[in-house]
Structure 1
Amino acid sequence: MAVIGASSDPDRIGGRVLRFLRESGYEGTLFPINRSGAEIQGLPAYASILDVPEVPDQAIIVVPTGSVESALRDAIRKGVRSVVVLTAGFAEIDAQGRAVQERMAALCKAAGVRMIGPNSLGLLNVESRLFSTFSVVLYGVRPKAGNIALATQSGAFGSALYGAATLRGMGFSKIVATGNEADVDVAEAIDYLAGDPGTRVIMAALESAKDGQKLRRALLKAAHAQKPVIIMKVGRSALGAAAAATHTGSLAGNDAAYDAVFAECGAYRARSQEEMLDVAYLISTTGRLPVNNELGVLTSSGGIGVMVADACGDSGLTMPALPEAAKTAMLELLPFAVAANPLDVTAQITSVRNGTVRALDLMLSNSSYGTTLAYLASAGLAPASFKGNYAQPLAELKARHPERDVVIVTLSVPEVDRELEKIGIPVFNDATRATLALGAAATIRARWANLYEPAEASRQPCALGNVNTEALAKEALADAGLPVPRDVLAVDADAAVAAAEAMGYPVVLKIVSPQIVHKTEVGGVALDVRNADGVRAACRQILDSVRAHAPGAQIDGILVCPMIVGGTEMILGVNNDATFGPMILVGAGGVNTELYKDVSLVSAPLTPARAREALDRVKATALLKGWRGAAPKDMDALVTAMVKLSDFAMNHPEIVSVDVNPLVVRESGAAVLDAVIVKQ
């Protein structure tokens, strides 16, 4: 290991890197590189990496910004295959810094050298005690070996994360801070960790993804390897996205698209550092995901039971009633208990020898609860009595029910936590946090059962013609197989009357203009027109209103459409996301779209099965299934329209967005009533 820019001062950045490598127990050879060539921290130093007597496996570059490129060239010339650039001052600063960073990336690519950074806080292979970092967190805590891995763009955030995790007793396999990601990014780190035998759980923190498809593949690889990925993606708001852009030198992608892709690929998005640690700790300790989302609760406090029930409602867990056999057995053991779920054993439980564990045994033996949570108040503060009264009986309980998980909630000291963790039992001091973590783990399990698998769309790539009006957009969608009514573009009132007579009354008239998207705002729509005189009058009124409100607009004519009544209004859409490509949106349509924001987003291409899964996440789908006795609507027609729109988006990469609103779904069939297509 060569440290280019090593310092004899162990508290300077270059000295800190060398100090941590020496103190961590790393057994490899260290080569400090400093222009002085003097001895550094008791080790022989070299003026240049070119003077080192052998080829290092890795070079850590921690010289001033202006010297990094030269140091990198020397490392490559020496034959080093891996570099970690800790120095900042590149793409995150300005265009000049970006240009230098791009040259460095090109140098590495041409030489077949892999680079982490620049602007990285380094990497830690905890298993081999390789701490290539200058993080000040290591002054206070050193990560211990374990089965959790961390990949993070932000080194400071990552350091805070593994520092907090270490204080909690969590152990790590590998930690990498990718920084500006000129070469290795978080997606590649996840891909590597998915195949790493020492890693069971992956935590990832990112601000943006430079290659959405690469991230998607990495997440799917981890899911197929049965390795949960808990992600904290910042930049949710416009303000957060702007901060992410200035911090990493890259723009944050569409946040809803990230949510959709994480769900499709089996990952879980944590909303806070605390939640990320809770979920990783839970799964790392149990070594698996819950077998189902059923939770049994034992508590000596009725209030705690209510808190857990509330958290179950927030997290998707269920609390099935205590089976009758369990009730009967429970009341024989604890006649004072409230034999339900939650099982309230009251404070009287303390008078029954091993009463808590015996009650847990009855719950597990007579129910299908995948996990049982036991609230032990402050029992964990007395390690001596806890070991005899709880730890050993719980170990025996786990041996009798190896397929079930037990979670303990108690105020505790670290000694108690470590004792239970050794037998696969996580310890929380907050019942709500424990329940939410269990809900997250159950969510991951459910997502693994429905992973995204790219389907082959009926691709017929071709250039998309002019679609700058509703009439042209509908024509393109009709050609793609969507259910578009037989509208007619009329150039004058006589043509409009002829079209209305041919299709039958009542009809709808709409202005057609490339400059007018929101037609109602300029008086460009007439509904329920029932005869020829009405058509002529509506044409005059529409044209007069449009000329008054949009005097410069080009008018292509009047669109005559059949008046379709009844049915449920939905919205279908496409957003060609800059990170992940075409995303399909479905939800409550018409005037309800902006009001309720009841929508679901899913990656293209779609299969009918994935289209139905997306619909299941929309509350308005209940209306389609026959709400309160209403006739059910044609779900098959809606699903077909979604798949056709997905294929359309895949066939035309120049599409920026599509808005079909509303799409009316009737008892038989569906109809596109309005559409807007935006091209690049």
Structure 2
Amino acid sequence: MHGLRGPALGQALLNPKKIALVGVSDDLSKTTARPLRFLRTAGYGGTIYTINPTRKVVQGEPAYPSLSALPEVPDHAFILTNSELAIDAVEECGKLGIPVATIMAAGFSESGHEGVKREQRLKAIAKDMGVRVLGPSSLGVINVREKLVLTANAAFAEADLPAGGIFCASQSGSMLGALTSRGRARNIGFAGLVSVGGESDLCIGEICEATLDDPNVTGYMLFLESMRHADALHRFALGAAARGKPVVAFKLGRSEVAAELAVSHTGALAGEDSVADTFFSDCGIARVETLDGLLEAMPLLARIPASASHHGGRKPTVGVVTTTGGGAAMAVDQLGIRGVNVIPPSKETLKRLAERGIEASGAAIVDLTLAGTKYEVMKATLEVMQSAPEFDMVLATVGSSARYQPDLAVAPVIDSAHAGKPLACFVVPEAPDALKRLTEAGVPSFRTPEACGDVIAAAFRRRAPVPQLPPPPAAKGERMLDEASAYKMLTPLGVPHAAYAVLAVDAPVPALPFPFPVVVKVLHEEIAHKTDVGGVILNVDSTASLAEAMARIKLNVEKNRPGTVVRQVLVQAMSKGLGEVLVGFRRDADVGPVVMLAAGGVLTEIYRDRALRLAPVTVEVAREMVKEVRALEALAGYRGRQEGDLEAVAQAVAAFSQLALLKDEVVLEAEMNPLIVRPKGDGALAVDALVRLG
């Protein structure tokens, strides 16, 4: 059977007219008593049925012994029992035609072997019965406008949650209370909130997708602990972008834990969190790193759509105007460490400011000092800077006047907010009245320099969402390709490589189709790191030396890898260039195929100088990646040096990323290490290749 999807799912999950509380307690001190009390306190107008097999009355209301005893079929059952009874309740939901069940109980896959089996049973029953399950370990759902407070989260005992346009979905149930309480202090309202729990069935992406056409939802706030169900999250992000509804996410796990792969450098360089960053950016989702940033991001994201955050690889630029130099400097520091350029006004902009009677020094921060506390001075400055072509946005930093004259201090910012370039405001003192005015006017505003830098950088990191790929073909068993077979797979994609020949080690040396000197390498599908086993000899300059090198490689490898039989070597023309890069591909278990460009050489993993994208990429995107790798600045004519063929590198990256589209094979990882960068106009050549299929 197939359960509800789309808007019908959203209706039953978030706007049910009839609710059953299964296992609700009469003891008000218990967690399982809260949902009934919260619903009544909030003034929910639908029908509530209480299910308790041991009591006829619960919290003063009639109770039924089971779901089957109800006089009508509810839209949504909130199951408050233990894990075993919860499975029975889901089965009963299926028999009665109750379309959605939320499970609060833990004790499933997170609790070991028995819990895994329990969750498998839950999934099978729910699928067979056509019941959509939220949870397990879900603390419930809230629909603010409908006064649906279907949750056991203690934070929702506080009534009258402000209504707004944000739909908040969290993998941590307890975070919902933290976000709403902090949001209340900032005058931030919510349309709805959901605790997804273990996502055994319904996940954040599908739930949010079901609300996309709700006119009350204007943006999304996500709190994530993992990247599970990234495919649904990607699909939702595409829908949100198409409707102009911004998405901001906070994901735990910023500390880098490299997702090491067995045979390549790509896994170490494209660690778990770096892949998550890439996924968010390529889905148009703004990933923030501060809790304040998560709460304060939405107004700025609404002013800077992801499609406008595309700068062709250059850093975004911000103009800063202030009445307090020290406060502005704090914000500038936070922007700088996140890769956002704060730049001074151009000569033309300085001229226009002077024409308005405003003298600016030409420094990166336009410091108006006390003069800036006058409405007409700040307003005129903002008008000029918001129309200046050198800035992508303008940040106004307001000092002490925001606390002592809040209406006057932020009035010019409010009056300028929707004219010209995007405008945001950092309020340096603790000034709740000024911030309230800014929030009510829809002006992006920040309480701390960290959140200010965080949100601005996150807004500009987003890119227009890339399309989703179809699911890969079924795997045929994992295996490595030897280097020659890897080249044969890459050549039809347009990936260039140095000329090579495959020779049998026990046969006479034939004439080579390319001149000496050459490199000789062991050719074996089980040997990825050839140098480690003595399987590479460089600068072989004659036929006699080649025969000797082949014999030596056979001896080295068979000695260093007992049981290995070396039958072939790959002989390749020696290639010289101005530099080298690593181009990697991996199919991440959560987000799918990713392509990477990194600085080559022995220090690659130490400096982690690389660019990542969801694969495949266009040549235009590959050019952006080239600009992001700092080491490649040396090959762009830096200080008069000879230029490398960086356009050929971009072409090679784009071609290599097409491994994501192969129809007959599933490439788990692949790598060109190195790709030799030759002088401009001479191209780039792979001189080693690795491919692992799955």
Q: Under TM normalisation by the shorter chain, which class is it?
A: 0.7 to 0.9
- Encode CA deviations 1:282-332: one digit per residue, 9 max, x unaligned: 547x79789785533332332233333333323444444336676567668
Aligned partners of 1:109, 1:253: CA distance in 2, in Å? 34
Q: Which residue of 1 aligns with 2:140?
A: 122
Helix, strand or coil: the match of 2:527?
coil
**Aligned runs of 1:54-93 on 2, under 5 Å?**
54-93=72-111
- Encode CA deviations 1:109-139: one digit per residue, 9 max, x unaligned: 3333322111101111112111111112224
Helix, strand or coil: the match of 2:44?
coil
Aligned partners of 1:456, 1:39: CA distance in 2, in Å? 53
For residue 397 of structure 1, report the CA deviation from its aligned partner: 4.7
Aligned partners of 2:454, 2:108: CA distance in 1, in Å? 40
Helix, strand or coil: the match of 1:438?
helix
Task: Note if 1:678 corresponds to 2:692.
Answer: yes
Q: Report if aligned partners of 1:600, 1:614 keep a CA contact under 8 Å in 2.
A: yes
For residue 178 of structure 1, report the CA deviation from its aligned partner: 0.9
Q: 1:568 to 1:338 in 2, by over 3 A?
A: closer
Higher relative contact order (CA 8 A, sep 6+): 2
Aligned partners of 1:89, 1:210: CA distance in 2, in Å? 19
Aligned partners of 2:493, 2:349: CA distance in 1, in Å? 58
Task: Note if 1:657 corresponds to 2:669.
Answer: yes
For residue 223 of structure 1, report the CA deviation from its aligned partner: 1.6
Aligned partners of 1:71, 1:564: CA distance in 2, in Å? 68
User: Percent identity between the aligned chains?
Assistant: 30
Task: Note if 1:101 corresponds to 2:119.
Answer: yes
For residue 150 of structure 1, report the CA deviation from its aligned partner: 1.0
Q: Which residue of 1 aligns with 2:297?
A: 279
Helix, strand or coil: the match of 1:149?
strand
Q: Report if aligned partners of 2:323, 2:367 keep a CA contact under 8 Å in 1.
A: yes
Helix, strand or coil: the match of 2:673?
strand
Aligned partners of 1:188, 1:261: CA distance in 2, in Å? 17
Q: Which residue of 2 aligns with 1:53?
A: 71
Q: Of the candidates 618, 622, 625, which is equivalent to residue 607 of structure 1?
A: 618
Q: Which residue of 2 aligns with 1:597?
A: 608
Task: Note if 1:150 corresponds to 2:168.
Answer: yes
Q: Which residue of 2 aligns with 1:246?
A: none
Q: 1:390 to 1:518 in 2, by over 3 A?
A: closer
**Aligned runs of 1:147-186 on 2, under 5 Å?**
147-186=165-204
Helix, strand or coil: the match of 2:630?
coil
For residue 60 of structure 1, report the CA deviation from its aligned partner: 0.8
Aligned partners of 2:615, 2:321: CA distance in 1, in Å? 45
Q: Of the candidates 366, 369, 377, which is equivalent to residue 343 of structure 1?
A: 366
Aligned partners of 1:365, 1:573: CA distance in 2, in Å? 41
Q: Report if aligned partners of 1:664, 1:673 keep a CA contact under 8 Å in 2.
A: yes
Helix, strand or coil: the match of 2:61?
coil
Helix, strand or coil: the match of 2:192?
strand
Q: 1:640 to 1:329 in 2, by over 3 A?
A: closer
Helix, strand or coil: the match of 1:44?
strand
Q: 1:466 to 1:210 in 2, by over 3 A?
A: closer
Task: Note if 1:373 corresponds to 2:384.
Answer: no
Q: Of the candidates 303, 321, 325, which is equivalent to residue 344 of structure 2?
A: 321
Q: Report if aligned partners of 1:253, 1:577 keep a CA contact under 8 Å in 2.
A: no
**Aligned runs of 1:409-558 on 2, under 5 Å?**
409-444=427-462, 447-448=463-464, 451-453=465-467, 467-478=480-491, 481-492=494-505, 495-496=508-509, 498-500=510-512, 502-558=513-569
Supply the AA of the counterpart residue of 1:605: P
Q: Which residue of 2 aligns with 1:300?
A: 323
Structure 2 segments unaligned to the other structure (5+ residues)? 1-18, 261-269, 310-315
Q: Which residue of 2 aligns with 1:132?
A: 150
Aligned partners of 1:514, 1:326: CA distance in 2, in Å? 62
Supply the AA of the counterpart residue of 1:66: E
Aligned partners of 2:100, 2:477: CA distance in 1, in Å? 46
For residue 155 of structure 1, report the CA deviation from its aligned partner: 0.9
Helix, strand or coil: the match of 1:98?
helix
Q: Report if aligned partners of 2:475, 2:666 keep a CA contact under 8 Å in 1.
A: no
Aligned partners of 2:440, 2:58: CA distance in 1, in Å? 42
Supply the AA of the counterpart residue of 2:499: R
- After TM superposition, the structure 1 stretch with the greater mean CA deviation from structure 2, 260-269 or 428-437, is 428-437
Helix, strand or coil: the match of 2:62?
coil
- After TM superposition, the structure 1 stretch with the greater mean CA deviation from structure 2, 265-274 or 327-336, is 327-336
- Encode CA deviations 1:449-497: one digit per residue, 9 max, x unaligned: xx3135899x99998997543333334434654323332222247633x
Aligned partners of 1:76, 1:237: CA distance in 2, in Å? 43
Supply the AA of the counterpart residue of 1:549: N
Aligned partners of 1:327, 1:33: CA distance in 2, in Å? 72
Helix, strand or coil: the match of 2:64?
coil
Q: Which residue of 2 aligns with 1:232?
A: 250
Task: Note if 1:309 corresponds to 2:329.
Answer: no
For residue 531 of structure 1, report the CA deviation from its aligned partner: 2.2
For residue 64 of structure 1, report the CA deviation from its aligned partner: 2.0
For residue 204 of structure 1, report the CA deviation from its aligned partner: 1.2
For residue 553 of structure 1, report the CA deviation from its aligned partner: 2.5
For residue 184 of structure 1, report the CA deviation from its aligned partner: 0.8
Aligned partners of 1:325, 1:476: CA distance in 2, in Å? 54
Figure out how many residues of one structure are paired with residues of the other and give that number: 657
Task: Note if 1:564 corresponds to 2:575.
Answer: yes
Q: 1:650 to 1:94 in 2, by over 3 A?
A: same
For residue 623 of structure 1, report the CA deviation from its aligned partner: 4.5
Q: 1:277 to 1:551 in 2, by over 3 A?
A: same
Q: Of the candidates 357, 362, 386, which is equivalent to residue 406 of structure 2?
A: 386
Q: Report if aligned partners of 2:505, 2:554 keep a CA contact under 8 Å in 1.
A: no
Q: Which residue of 1 aligns with 2:266?
A: none
- After TM superposition, the structure 1 stretch with the greater mean CA deviation from structure 2, 105-114 or 329-338, is 329-338
Aligned partners of 1:53, 1:556: CA distance in 2, in Å? 78
Task: Note if 1:269 corresponds to 2:287.
Answer: yes
For residue 356 of structure 1, report the CA deviation from its aligned partner: 5.5
Q: Report if aligned partners of 2:426, 2:448 keep a CA contact under 8 Å in 1.
A: no
TM-score when normalising by structure 2: 0.84
Q: Of the candidates 8, 12, 22, which is equivalent to residue 40 of structure 2?
A: 22
- Encode CA deviations 1:381-411: one digit per residue, 9 max, x unaligned: 34xx433x34556555558x37653425142
- After TM superposition, the structure 1 stretch with the greater mean CA deviation from structure 2, 265-274 or 71-80, is 71-80
Q: 1:263 to 1:204 in 2, by over 3 A?
A: same
Q: Report if aligned partners of 2:321, 2:365 keep a CA contact under 8 Å in 1.
A: yes
Supply the AA of the counterpart residue of 2:484: A
Helix, strand or coil: the match of 1:53?
coil
- After TM superposition, the structure 1 stretch with the greater mean CA deviation from structure 2, 365-374 or 580-589, is 365-374
Q: Of the candidates 173, 188, 191, which is equivalent to residue 206 of structure 2?
A: 188
Helix, strand or coil: the match of 1:45?
strand
Aligned partners of 2:217, 2:639: CA distance in 1, in Å? 50
Q: 1:260 to 1:435 in 2, by over 3 A?
A: closer
- Encode CA deviations 1:414-451: one digit per residue, 9 max, x unaligned: 3433233222234433244324322322333xx13xx3
Aligned partners of 2:214, 2:333: CA distance in 1, in Å? 38
For residue 266 of structure 1, report the CA deviation from its aligned partner: 0.7
Helix, strand or coil: the match of 1:495?
coil
Supply the AA of the counterpart residue of 1:57: D
For residue 376 of structure 1, report the CA deviation from its aligned partner: 2.9
Q: 1:362 to 1:211 in 2, by over 3 A?
A: closer
Q: 1:90 to 1:547 in 2, by over 3 A?
A: closer
Structure 1 segments unaligned to the other structure (5+ residues)? 243-251
Q: 1:23 to 1:287 in 2, by over 3 A?
A: farther
